Structure 1
Amino acid sequence: MDIKNPDARFSFEFFPPRTEAGMEKLMIVHQELAALQPDFFSVTYGAGGSTKDGTRQAVTNISQAGSAVAPHLSFGGSSKEEILTLLESYRAMGVNRLVALRGDIPSGTGVASQYYYANELIEFIRAETGDHFHIEVACYPEIHPQSDSYDKDIYYFKKKVDAGANSAITQYFYNPDAYFYFVDNCEKAGIEIPIVPGIMPITNFNNLQRFSNNCGAEIPRWIRQRLQSYGDDTASIRAFGADVVLNLCEDLLAGGAPGLHFYSMNQTEPVRQIWQQLDLR
């Protein structure tokens, strides 16, 4: 397809497996998706750094396999000394991109976080490492679930940009108008960094519904009704979901989106199918 933005970038996101077998499977998926030549892979970081070791191992494996990789990072329950050690280890292995997040502290730990907001983490990274890292941040076209208002959400997004963020990845969504309206309002607020849409393939309605309820992403009524009508017909859910997400990606790229970031859920086929149909070479 014709992509309006000639500098569009494309990336895939993984979550760190908790078992050795899971890590072996992830590296197979990585090898399959690396053949598509994305700009980078990102690896998530659990609440309070709960997957810190798994994240670092996955980042190490992906980097050693020859791919550019962006670890997710948050202060969560970690001290600044622990975060600095992690930053130095990433820099030593050649990592030059991070996804900086506010992060959450696991419930019941009683841990008091020294840093809480993402802009504070970004300021810390810049103070300790200068411009070494390209810093990605999160943003929410349909508003963060804990935000007081749409304008307040953009205000906090701008604080991350002013702290030194280079680009942003959105929460997933299925209404392209929500994205373009958000981008327009960000520009009016003086936010000039690229805002890359996050794309979630649709393969399982129950899982999608649970994820969306937790993160505040809206499933449009017409999509929800259609998915519910298929019941346990997995093949129909996946076929319909692939069409919905393909059309979404086409609208975003035709409208000038600066790329796409795919939430792979550690699976090859859903994102590879969309990639091939979009002819992203």
Structure 2
Amino acid sequence: MTPRHFKFSFLLALVLAVAAVVEPQADAKAPWLQLEKGLELGTFVSPQPSEVGDSLVHILRIDPGYFELRLLNASAPDQSRRQSAREWALNNGLVAAINASLYQADNRTSASLMRTRDHVNNRRLSKDKTILAFDPLDPSLPKVQIIDRECQDFDALNKQYQTLVQSIRMVSCDGQNVWAPQSKKWSVAAIGMDKRGRVLFIHSRSPHSTHDLIDVLLQLSIDLRNAMYVEGGPVAQLYARSGDKEFEFLGSYSTGSNENDNNAISWPVPNVVGVVRVNGKKP
């Protein structure tokens, strides 16, 4: 998606905000930084170096026993505008936020199914095979899962979860890369889950083809079970904060439209998946 131009003063403010955040360093022996119990930030060097940037992949690992997910939409009655992931977090009491999914030309509506218990952003179920599901009606169900329509009964699960976010599958039911090799490359934001049921917010500023990034993720020591693509290019972003630590990761590269590593702007997006602490859990 092509970002629109904004006034210089707005851009300058965002650039200054980006400059203030912490830059974690990759450590091959201890890639995970514990921000608080149930929340860790991993910084990994890609085993397939990118031709642009630092070749780092940042992954926020979230334990559903300590944190819950929230879907926030600019189209919802209690919201009025698109915001960067950082703004969504700061204005709504979130610990973290990432792009929820690709969106349409109206800059509001998701490309596919997207709903919460209180608001429907898009009721259309597309051909895409993965749906992030949380806020279950039945407490015996997983608090969060990425449903794969190829090997799970979505018609039944659809009725059991109050929040659904559909997007593009990256990994098959048997752990295989489902994307064909391609020459186009992007900065990427993705949402995944590991084999222990922890949620993974994934961000790579350094561009890869989606096929190659999936191969990278499958090679990393993250026990990836499944994942879905949620955004690419300059608007792909991940934000997290805990205590006095703040992290913001921005995309930049997009084949054919922004073939550089220069973006320092937190572009406003209409939909994010956010993270909040479970009631009673303290950092």
TM-score over 0.5 for the pair? no
TM tier, shorter chain? under 0.3
User: TM-score, normalised on structure 2?
Assistant: 0.24
User: TM-score, normalised on structure 1?
Assistant: 0.25
- Bigger relative CO (Cα 8 Å, ≥ 6 apart): 2
Structure with more strand by fraction = 2
Which structure has the bigger radius of gyration? 1
